[in-house]
Structures are given as C-alpha cells and as structure tokens.
Amino acid sequence: MRSILLSAFAALAVATLGCEKKTAPVEPPKPADVKPLEGKPAPAPAADTGDIIIGEVGSLTGSEAAFGISTRNGIELALEDANAAGGVKGRKVKVIVYDDQSKPEEAASATTRLITQDKVKLVLGEVASSNSLAMAPICQDNKIPMISPSSTNPSVTEKGDYIFRVCFIDPFQGFVMAKYAREELKFKNVAILKDVKSAYSVGLTEVFERKFAEMGGKVLGIESYAKGDTDFRSQLTAIKKLKPEGLYVPGYYNDVGIIARQARELGLKTVMMGGDGWDSEKLFELGGKAIEGSFVSNHYSPEDPSPQVQNFISKYKGKFGGVPDSLAALGYDAANVAIEAMKRAPDLSGPALRDEIAKTKDFPGVAGTISMNEKRDAVKPAVVLQVVDGKFKYVATVKP
C-alpha cells in the first residue's frame, strides 16, 4: 500500500542526491548571477549623452506608505532644483522610482530591476531599516552606491563600503535625549518604557540607559511592551511606583499616544521623552492633552529660520502642499548629496561615485550639515522638539 509512497520518497532522496552531485558542478550561474554584473556599470559609460538615471526604492504602498511618499517628494524636489540649475555635467538627472510595498522581498526585487534592467548609476532608499538591509547587499555586489535617506539602524551601512546614509543613527538619538534630559532638563532619575518588538526602540533604550548613567543620572527601571499592545497599565503602574522625574518612551506614535493617555489616567505626571518615531500628526489625535509638554529628538524642525530651510519649505508647499516632514527633508538631502557627488566625480562609474560620496564634508543639508564619517554614516546635529498646543515646537539643537 505504501510502496508507491515509499518509492516516491526514495525518488526524492535519490533526486536530491543526484542534484547535489550534478547541479553543483554546472551551477556556476549562481555566483555568475552576480559576477558578470559587476563589470557592467563600468563599461557602460559609452552612453555619455542623454539623461543620467538614478533609482529610488520606497514604500509607496503598504503600511509605511506615508514615509515613502514624503521621501519621494523630497527627492523629486531636489532633482527639479538640480535640473533647473543645469543638471550634472550638462545632462539632466532622472529618477526611476519603484514601490516595494514596505516588504523586504519587494525591495530586493526593485533594486535588482533598477541595477540590471534600468542600469542606474546610484540608488536612493529606503526608509525602513529592514528594507534597506534587503537592498544593501545587492548594491554592494554590483558596486553601485546606495544612499539611504532615513534608515537609522547602525547595521545598514555595515553591509559594505558602497552603502551610505544622510541621517544620524539610532545610538546618536539615544545620546541626544539622554544629554538633553540630564543637562538641560536636569533630571536625576528617569524610567524607560521600551517596545521589545522593534529593533529601533531597543537600540535607543540601550544607548539612553548607558549615556544617562555616564552623565551622572540614574535609570530607575526599564519596563517593556510589544508594538500593538493596547493596555499599558501594568507597566505604567510599576513605573509610577519608582517616582521618576522623566519617562523615556522610544516607540512609535500609535503606541505612544495611548501610553500617554493611560499614564495620565493613572496619575503619572512625569515628563515624557521620545525619538523620531513620534513624528506624526496622529500622535496628537491619539494622545490629546496627555502628550503636551513632552520632548522628542528629531532630524529637523520646519521652524529653523535659516534661509535654506525656509526656501525648501516654501518650494515644497508650493508643489505638494503641506509642511514637509523630516522624511521629505532627508530625501531632499540624500538626493542633493548624490547630485553633488556626481558633479564632482570624474566619471559616473560606481567606484568613482562611491569615492566622492565618501568625501562629502560639511554639506549644507536642510536637515543639518552632513559629513560622512569612516563608517559612511552622516555626522550631524539633532534637534529637540517639545509638544506645545498640539504641535512640535523647536527647543534646542544637540551637536554630536
């Protein structure tokens, strides 16, 4: 009765073995997948006329669509400016945008398509660190530089020497808030409520805890929740008993709003602090009055009076309506860093562009002055904002 099944299994086993012996010797195509491409971008400069094409991968649909669309708008604006000013090397710059639906496998697919089909010189993207991590190895293998506007996880640029970013990294944000809390707000002891489901929150918590202690403060306790939870009372009750002066909640706005409300309900009146994950209009709807007076670290503030920033904001408003958020500013900066590098580079091959991007120093971005360090991360100041009357208000700039 089972003989056929058994023989099917045996066939499978034999086949697998056969595959091992046979597939392997003839299967150089797999590494060959990658290798022939390595050379391709370089011998291509035959096409020295026509538009310069760069690629962008972003989440235009899916759960993080709002992020992706802001970034795309910023990039579009930067290219418009550059082309109006005569383009790069007398050629216009064009961007091809692919949507990755906020999925890593789609990000990888889009990057492959950009590099192999569209032959882009450079790739911009992504916002979410996990998607950037999907793109980075592909860019690295093909020796095409990649600039991420706003992936703050440190591991992104560790994927290779072709991967850059124009934003600060998570540890820096933790440091900024620790410094501000200790030195400006003069807090002696704080508590932390972290989201264990997000690498971002865990990373910020680690650095904040260490730095705050180094600066002479005391972290009384760390409680945790998981993204998507809706009842934070157990954790908040525990925190209330510690009587901290400040509560650091490095999470995302949709959880933070509810946390703030439940904290106030429980009579926990400590000042709350957070990171750029709070940056959304939704925060004010969810948190209401409970969120007032909190402090957050962020990439830039639209209130920055410098003419460059105000100019950017007015152009953005004119084209897309609405005040640009941090992601739009970072997208704008990423595209400008790329354009500058292309202008300086002797040719548009991957290695030449890479070298020039790495040399970026004191570049005046709208979200702070950018200098690339040896880890290809931007070294730049962060701003601290306070929630006042249902809006973020600029209070300070913290330098690295």
Partner 1 sequence: MYGFLQHLINGLAAGTIYALVALGYTMVYGVLKLINFAHGDVMMVGVYVGYAVAFLMGREHFGTFAGVMLVFLVSMLACAAFGLLIERFAYRPLREKPRLTSLITAIGISFALSYGFQLDLAVNLGGTSYTLLPGAASRAFPEIIVPNQWFEFGSDDQSVIIWNWQVISFLIAAALMVGLQLLVFKTRFGRAMRAVSFDHRVAALLGIPVDRVIAGTFMLGSALAACAGLLYAIKDTSVQPLMGMYIGLKAFVAAVIGGIGNVPGAVVGALALGLCEEFVVGYTSSSWRDAVAFGFLILVLLAKPEGLFGRVQAEKV
Partner 2 sequence: MIRGAAPAILAAVGCIALQALLGEWAFFGYLASLVGVNVILAVSLNVINGMTGQFSIGHAGFMAVGAYTGGILSLATAQDRIGVLPEVVSDQLFLVGSLCAGGTVAALCGLIVGLPSLRLRGDYLAIVTLGFGEIIRVIVQNTQALGGALGLSGVPQRAGFGMVWFWVFLVVLMARRLAASPHGRSLWAIREDEVAAEAMGVDTTSYKVRAFVLSSFFAGVAGALFAHFVPIVNPGSFTFVKSMEIVVMIVAGGLGSTTGAFTAAVFLTLLPEGMRSLFTTLGGGDPSLAQKVDQVRMPIYGVLLVLIMLTRPQGIFGTHEAWDAVARWRKKARA
Per-residue HEC secondary structure of the chain comes to CCHHHHHHHHHHHHHHHHHHHHHHHHCCHHHHHHHHHHHCCCCHHHCCCCCEEEEEEECCCCCCHHHHHHHHHHHHHHHHHHHHCCCECCECEEEEEEECCCCHHHHHHHHHHHHHHCCCCCEECCCCHHHHHHHHHHHHHHCCCEEECCCCCHHHHHHCCCEEECCCCHHHHHHHHHHHHHHHCCCCEEEEEEECCCHHHHHHHHHHHHHHHHCCCEEEEEEEECCCCCCCHHHHHHHHHHCCCEEECCCCHHHHHHHHHHHHHCCCCCEEEECHHHCCCHHHHHHHHHHCCCEEEECCCCCCCCHHHHHHHHHHHHHHCCCCCHHHHHHHHHHHHHHHHHHHCCCCCHHHHHHHHHCCCCEEECCEEEEECCCCCEECCEEEEEEECCEEEEEEEECC
Binding to partner 1, residues 198-257 (CB under 8 A): 224-226, 229-231, 233-235, 237, 241, 254, 257
- CB of residue 195 to partner 1, shortest distance in Å: 9
153 binds partner 2 (CB under 8 A): yes
We find the least distance from the C-beta atom of residue 28 to partner 1, in angstroms, to be 44
Residue number with CB closer to partner 1 (33 or 285): 285
Min dist. Cβ of residue 57 to partner 2 (A): 12
Q: Which residue in 79, 138, 339, 384 binds partner 2 (CB under 8 A)?
A: 138
- Which strand ranges, in their side-by-side order, compose the sheet holding 378-379? 363-365, 368-372, 378-379
193-232 residues near partner 2, rule: CB under 8 A: 196-199, 202, 226
Could you say which of partner 2, partner 1, none residue 286 binds, taking C-beta under 5 to 8 angstroms by partner kind? partner 1
Q: Considering only residues 73, 102, 129, 262, which one is a binding residue for partner 1 as defined by CB under 8 A?
A: 262
Q: Which one of residues 38, 74, 80, 103 is an interface residue with partner 2 (CB under 8 A)?
A: 103
Smallest distance from partner 2 to CB 152, Å = 11
Residues 271-330 that bind partner 1 (CB under 8 A): 282, 285-288
- As measured in angstroms, the least distance from the Cβ of 197 to partner 1 is 6
Question: With CB under 8 A, what is the number of residues at the site for partner 1?
Answer: 25
Q: Is 109 in the site for partner 2 (CB under 8 A)?
A: yes
Residue in 38, 184, 265, 347 binding partner 1, rule: CB under 8 A: 265
Q: How far is the CB of 222 from partner 1 (least distance, A)?
A: 11
Cα separation, 293 vs 385, in Å, equals: 10
Question: Is residue 269 within the footprint of partner 1 (CB under 8 A)?
Answer: no
- Residues lying near partner 2 in the complex (CB under 8 A) are found at 1-2, 4-5, 7-8, 10-12, 14-16, 18-20, 22-34, 36-37, 60-62, 65, 97, 99, 101, 103-105, 108-109, 112-113, 115-117, 129-130, 133-138, 153, 155, 159, 196-199, 202, 226
- Residues lying near partner 1 in the complex (CB under 8 A) are found at 63, 196-197, 224-226, 229-231, 233-235, 237, 241, 254, 257-258, 261-262, 265, 282, 285-288
